[in-house]
Amino acid sequence: MKFACVGECMIEISNLPDGGTLRHFGGDTLNTAVYLARLGTPVDYITALGDDPYSDDMIAAWRDEGVGVDQVQRVPGAVPGLYMIRTDAAGERSFHYWRDQAPARQMFAGENSDAVARALADCDWIYFSGITLSILDDAGRERLINALRAARSSGAKVAFDGNYRPRGWASADEARAAFAMTMPQIDLALPTYDDEQLLHNDADPQACAARYHDAGVAEVVIKLGPEGAIISGPASIEQVPVPATITPVDTTAAGDSFNAGFLASRSSGQSATAAAQTGHKLAGTVIQHRGAIIPTNAMPKFEAN
């Protein structure tokens, strides 16, 4: 199975307890792409970068991780977006962004969209998020949706994580409208309940799942943090607990890594329950390290499927 992850990667600056900083690269769909590659799943990252040294470094790092970079567009004179992470004593993080001119906003502009659509049509799975939608203008979102529709007609499946971040949208109404346009093209949704409740005011996770099903999404996996995840299909619903309680060091990329574990396992033929357990195991390891991408030697071991 070949995946394409669509979105934006930025320069990530993390504040350390001693007052120093640590530089990485990160972005929700990029994090998922890296963890998919580490789990042995072929994956391309689809985005746009500049022609600057930081963009060169990103591409080199992704290539070293085994992430395909042939579809990365380069925009002359542009530089990637940047974000800083502040982490409190409980491991919860807050983000501050500098990304208004980021080249990823142009990946579905003009002729670029034709190249992206052709790349997506060659994939078995396409993964993107609400953050992907938030960086595109109305025309870009429409081109993305058209590309998803064409890819699905060729047999691809589409996975989506709402990952709602209010600062990325002009209003909650704009976000809800963009999500609603996208739902008919989604096969698997991987939302976080706190995000969904903030945007849609769902009464409980079951109501959240029902809303996705009503929009045509067949399988919904709702992440509940330390309470595990709820898996909802057309005729059943199940809660899959986390295997152990963990005190996090940094919750950055918890959901992104869960998504990678779930997608890698599910696309290889495992049950949704087994896939959620894989996602929990990976996310539980990631939140014990600082930053979105943990050292390769810190990756948990998984039995071959």
Catalytic residues: 256
Please report, for residues 70, 89, 223, 226, 299, the alpha-carbon distance to residue 285 in angstroms, rounded to integers and kept in the order given. Answer: 30, 18, 16, 13, 7
The residue type at 235: A
How far apart, in Å, do the first and last CA atoms of the chain sit?
14
Instruction: Give the dihedral sign, CA 8/255/35/122.
Output: negative
Please report, for residues 9, 34, 190, 201, 232, the alpha-carbon distance to residue 229 in angstroms, rounded to integers and kept in the order given. Answer: 26, 22, 10, 19, 10
What is the DSSP secondary-structure string of 271-299?
-HHHHHHHHHHHHHHHTTSSSSS--GGGP
**207: phi then psi, degrees, rounded to nearest 5:** -65, -35
Q: Are the CB atoms for 268 and 260 separated by under 8 Å? A: no
